[in-house]
Amino acid sequence: MALLLWLESQLSFCWSNISVLGVFLTVFTLLLDFMKRRKKWSRYPPGPVSLPFLGTMLRVDFHNPHHSFSQFHKKYGNIYSLQNCWDNVVVLNGYKTVKEALVHRSEDFADRPYFPIYEHMGYGSKSEGVVFARYGHVWKELRKFSLSTLRNFGMGKKSLEERVVEEAGFLCSAINSAEGRPFNIHSLVFNAVCNVICTTVYGERFDYGDETFKKLLHLFKKSLEDEIGFLPQLLNVVPILLRIPGVPQKVFQGQKAFMDFIDVLIKKHMETWNPAHVRDLTDAFLQEMKKGKAAEENGFSYNNLRLVTADLFSAGSETTSTTLRWAFLYMLLHPEIQRKVQAEIDKVIGRERPPTMQDQANMPYTNAVIHEVQRYGDIVPAGLPHKTYRDTELQGFFIPKGTTIITNLSSVLKDETVWEKPNEFYPEHFLDANGQFVKREAFLPFSAGRRVCLGEQLARMELFIFFTTLLQKFSFVLPEDQPKPREDGLYALISYPHPYLMRAVPR
């Protein structure tokens, strides 16, 4: 009996100690979390209440983050702060705020955050690739190389324009094959735009039915889908979870498969490489790699070859093809605007001669419509995240070095202080009283500053030539039995239109 009483007292003592230890660990963990989230800076931007461990992540709809940013904008103003677990995030809203940050303080906001979820693709914590690379010497060298090589292979010159005109012809032939039946223009436009970047980066175009081409496009779309939702955001800010065996492979299957396929394309390319004959950007990069250690220190390694080509493929295809899908949706919804564009095409170009970039200066209304598609379509509503390169101040707020910066481009393109009808499709935003085209300062669909979109010039060329060529050859109408398409978008890093069908009537 005495033994039982003694055992009972010992168990009670142990449970008491465990309870005390549990309370201590809980308090210690909460205190540690509070210290990590505590803002020790005065004049730091305000924001919603931060919860233990998760911060404000539960307050953001990561399937439509720009909608959440818009709500916070109304409550906290043009500059406010969020907290992704222990990562500090500041969101910039409105034209004046974003311009001051990206243009007037361009180097302060020129860095990129480190994305642990991209490690399995080859993106490390150093300057790798050209889109997600950290700001520094290697990024500058790779961006300069990419821009100069794209120019050498025709960006802004006649040779690339001829490629776009040729591809527009292939696209028209594919649309003709529908013979007036309802069809979804999504895959056809995506194929055409991807072919332009493929000829520049990999030196060849593909037939739309080519199995290799279809696999490349399928894997690319899957890789984009991997990044949507709460889980990828959580893995980014709690990267230790990525060390759990099988997690990256399970969550990011599409990304891994896409990069594996890029490796296959490059290795096939290397087998036919001739240093005396540079065919494309991949060949030019291989030439730089052969220059030895100095070139490697400037970022010219095999890993950067695969990342730069993947970056250019991604940046040069999805946004442009999505913009064209929005463009034809708006033509279906606004047939009177479509007719005015076609009247201008007939007047300036006619029905037979292919459009060229020289025609753009004489087509103010068409140019205004294309710009309004980009503004109202709001293709990349939250932009790509930046990071402060040094401590800085913006409109009286202090933002420390290493803070993740979200430039809410949607708040710029639909800024009520700038645009007359921000929430309507209104091409007159880009026309003066005499009907002449006017470029608006708040038109920032490609972002601005040191991280402005690498392929902006190519995208402008593709949008004008593809759009005018298709409206020169066809009138686009809704099928009789189809309800009116939706104007709201589906978000997956960029904003897509909901699937819709249309008919192409030859003119």
Per-residue pLDDT tens for 239-288? 777 777 877 777 788 788 888 888 888 888 888 888 888 888 898 899 99
Residue 433's pLDDT is what? 94
Residue 17: pLDDT band (50, 70, 90) is low
Residue 221: pLDDT band (50, 70, 90) is confident
Residue 25's pLDDT is what? 47
**CB within 8 Å of 108: residues ≥ 6 apart:** 101, 388, 389, 390, 392
pLDDT tens-digit series, residues 315-338 = 778 899 999 999 999 999 999 999
Residue 31's pLDDT is what? 46
Measured distance CA(234)–CA(84) in Å, rounded: 8
State the DSSP string of 47-91: -SPPBTTTBTGGGS-TTSHHHHHHHHHHHH-SEEEEEETTEEEEE
pLDDT tens-digit series, residues 345-396 = 999 999 999 999 999 999 999 999 999 999 999 999 998 899 999 999 999 9
Give the H or E element holding residue 187: helix 186-201
Q: At what angle do helices 158-176 and 186-201 cross, to 10 degrees?
A: 150
Residue 12: pLDDT band (50, 70, 90) is low
**DSSP 8-state secondary structure symbol assigned to residue 104:** I
Long-range pairs, 155-158, Cβ under 8 A, ≥24 = 155/200, 155/455, 155/457, 155/458, 156/457, 156/461
Using only C-alpha atoms, the chain has a radius of gyration, in whole angstroms, of 26
Model pTM score: 0.87
For the residues 169-174, what does the mean pLDDT come to? 95
Measured distance CA(314)–CA(197) in Å, rounded: 9
Residue 33's pLDDT is what? 44
CB 436 within 8 A of CB 364: yes
Q: The tokens 């379509």 sit on which residue?
A: 377
pLDDT tens-digit series, residues 82-94 = 998 888 999 999 9
pLDDT of 424 > 90? The answer is yes
Domain 137-506, CATH class in plain words: mainly alpha
Residue 7: pLDDT band (50, 70, 90) is low
Walk across the sheet containing 79-84 and list its strands. Answer: 79-84, 87-92, 404-407, 386-387
Beta bridge pairs of residue 393: 398
Residue 127: pLDDT band (50, 70, 90) is low
Question: In 3D, which of 236, 177, 166, 182 has the Cα closest to residue 209?
Answer: 177
Q: What is the mean pLDDT of the chain?
A: 86
For the residues 106-116, what does the mean pLDDT come to? 91
Question: In 3D, which of 439, 457, 376, 446 has the Cα closest to residue 102?
Answer: 446
pLDDT of 21 > 70? The answer is no
Domain boundaries, the chain: 137-506
Question: In 3D, which of 323, 317, 335 has the Cα closest to residue 502?
Answer: 335
CB 61 within 8 A of CB 67: yes
Residue 62's pLDDT is what? 80
CB 383 within 8 A of CB 404: no
Measured distance CA(494)–CA(235) in Å, rounded: 20
Question: In 3D, which of 325, 364, 320 has the Cα closest to residue 341?
Answer: 364
Measured distance CA(406)–CA(393) in Å, rounded: 16
Residue 18: pLDDT band (50, 70, 90) is low
Task: State what percent of residues in the chain have pLDDT above 90.
Answer: 47
Range scoring the smallest mean pLDDT among 197-206, 285-294, 467-476: 197-206
For the residues 305-321, what does the mean pLDDT come to? 86
Residue 34's pLDDT is what? 47
Q: How far is CA 21 from the centre of its chain?
A: 48
Residue 48's pLDDT is what? 93
Measured distance CA(404)–CA(386) in Å, rounded: 6
For the residues 30-49, what does the mean pLDDT come to? 68
Residue 28's pLDDT is what? 44
Residue 494: pLDDT band (50, 70, 90) is confident
Measured distance CA(220)–CA(188) in Å, rounded: 15
What 3-state DSSP class applies to 491?
strand
pLDDT of 440 > 70? The answer is yes
Greater model confidence, 463 or 14? 463
And the tokens for 437?
């085209």
Query: CA angle, corner 92, sides to 52 and 395, nearest 5?
Result: 105
pLDDT of 238 > 80? The answer is no
Taken as a whole, the chain contains a residue count of: 507
Within 10 angstroms of residue 368's Cβ, the number of other Cβ atoms is: 23
**CB within 8 Å of 23: residues ≥ 6 apart:** none
